[in-house]
Structure 1
């Protein structure tokens, strides 16, 4: 027995992204990119866009946004690209903490946790 809503999942994702399979080239998003809302949701806005704006009132990693929305990271990046193009969010990559030329193990552990949550 399938779960409700699972049969239409591919159609829903296709609709969310308007058929796009990748985010806009040159957008700065990877799983660690911090996203911050620059405005509040507006009436008539796509529900996922509105949810992203609510989730990113404070800096939030792309991986966390995807996990909260229960969407694949690639779909989340497409939605974030839309919001970035409209000036509704800003994005920045966290500074890379380096110790002796190697990534900080705490940062790597956080990335692993984020990936597991997807």
Structure 2
């Protein structure tokens, strides 16, 4: 059985990040997709290698965090390292055009009531 996130050793997280506690505006949010640009190399930090293997296909930051069982803030630091080395690329999901209208809230309420009545 793997350890739970809340059981993570804070000293280990400190070591993984090299003592860094946060990154400046890196543009990485929870749904940013990460894609590996290369395979892991010998001697690479194990967390970096795991990220590269995990991200052969586009993978969201939050999914990487879950898979590594580490806080998103720590994963973002690791991802910034890999971005700086050119080993990954980050893709921000496309935003809907500004003119796209959201569904009418009243209609959504009616749909919800209809589903609850099923």
Name the TM tier (shorter chain).
Answer: 0.7 to 0.9
Alignment of 1:30-41 (within 5 A): 30-41=29-40
TM-score, with normalisation over the residues of structure 1? Answer: 0.75
Structure 1 residue runs of 4+, over 3 Å off? none
Using the size of structure 2 for normalisation, the TM-score is 0.75
Q: Is the 8 A contact 1:22 1:78 kept in 2?
A: yes
Larger radius of gyration: 2
Q: SS of the counterpart of 2:53?
A: helix
Structure 1, unpaired ranges of 5+: 104-118
RMSD between aligned alpha carbons? 2.0
After TM superposition, the structure 1 stretch with the greater mean CA deviation from structure 2, 8-17 or 72-81, is 8-17
> Could you say which residue in structure 2 is the equivalent of 1:87?
86
Asked whether 1:15 is paired with 2:15, we answer yes
Q: Which runs of 5+ in 2 are unaligned?
A: 104-118
Secondary structure of 1:77's partner?
helix
